[in-house]
Chains A and B, each alone.
Chain A
Amino acid sequence: MIELKFHISGGDFDTAGTASSETKKILKQLNIDSKVIKRTVVALYEGEVNIAAHAWKGEVAVTVKDHQIVALLKDEGPGIADINMAMLEGFSTASPKVREMGFGAGMGLPNMKKNADLLEVESTPGVGTTVRMSFDF
């Protein structure tokens, strides 16, 4: 079993993508099916960007087990008021600055759902959000 950990600071778009990029390298070294790697990095990148765009800070932990990759993204931040709304394609609460960068199109969580075999989102407004995704191979 391999475990990777990353720290993400709110508002830091320069390092957003590091967890996905490092995870991709490790998964390739482990010879995991390229389709599974693709799904994992797309979903993980969206999760990283969500933390940078919305939260104050967050931690990403990726665990590679025998036949499954598990990604746990835990942030401290404003949380999600209505998770069902957040899951809808096109719904976004991103700031104008984030939208100008081409983020905040309301496709993040839907992309995560499409690419992960399992997606669980728990959030407490004013405290933070925890996202758990798994990918089977």
Chain B
Amino acid sequence: MKVSELVKELNLVVFSGEEGLNREIRGGYVSDLLSDVMGNATEGEIWITLQTHRNVVAIASLKELACVLLVSSLKPEQGTIDHSNSEGIPVLGTTCSTFEIAGLLYQKIKG
């Protein structure tokens, strides 16, 4: 599934990194510990987190993740938006909690 398709289906906000909306999502990873994501996330996954600072995009880019999804109406910092635009990695948002959105995503991607 493409990032753009998921945005439509789950009514997600696109904060930045529109250039990467064609990226393919192959799975998901849920974590707020950056080293955990660095060590254990896999290329092409959507990363669900409540961290909003620019290192999130640095990690997503190094790990070649599909996109980042911020939960509970959280908004990215300006540095995060700038970095996301320059790297072409979408930063998305949802009003749902981590639990709710992870459940919905699991059904869409693995279901």
Contact = CB atoms under 8 A, between A and B. Distances in A.
Interface of A: 13-14, 16-17, 20-21, 24, 38, 41-42, 45-46, 49, 101-103, 105, 107-108, 110-111, 114
Contacts of A38: 63
Given A17-B58, A45-B58, A103 B35 contact: yes
Given A17-B55, A21-B61, A103-B35, 14 more contacts: A20-B58, A38-B63, A42-B39, A42-B62, A45-B58, A45-B62, A46-B35, A49-B34, A102-B55, A103-B34, A105-B33, A107-B35, A111-B38, A114-B39
8 smallest beta-carbon distances between A and B, as pairs: A17-B58, A107-B35, A102-B34, A105-B33, A111-B39, A102-B51, A41-B62, A102-B32
Interface of B: 32-36, 38-39, 49, 51, 53-55, 58-59, 61-63, 79
Contacts of A49: 34-35, 55
A107 B62 contact: no
Nearest to A101: B53
Nearest to B87: A21
**Dominant secondary structure at the B interface:** helix
A42 B33 CA distance: 14
**Dominant secondary structure at the A interface:** helix
Contacts of B53: 13, 101
A24 B87 CA distance: 13
A105 B55 contact: no
Given A13-B53, A14-B54, A105 B35 contact: yes
A21 to B, nearest CB: 7
B38 A46 contact: yes
Nearest to A110: B39
Nearest to B50: A102
A45 B38 CA distance: 9
A38 to B, nearest CB: 8
Most chain-A CB neighbours within 10 Å: which of B38, B51, B53?
B38
A21 B51 CA distance: 20
Contacts of A42: 38-39, 62-63
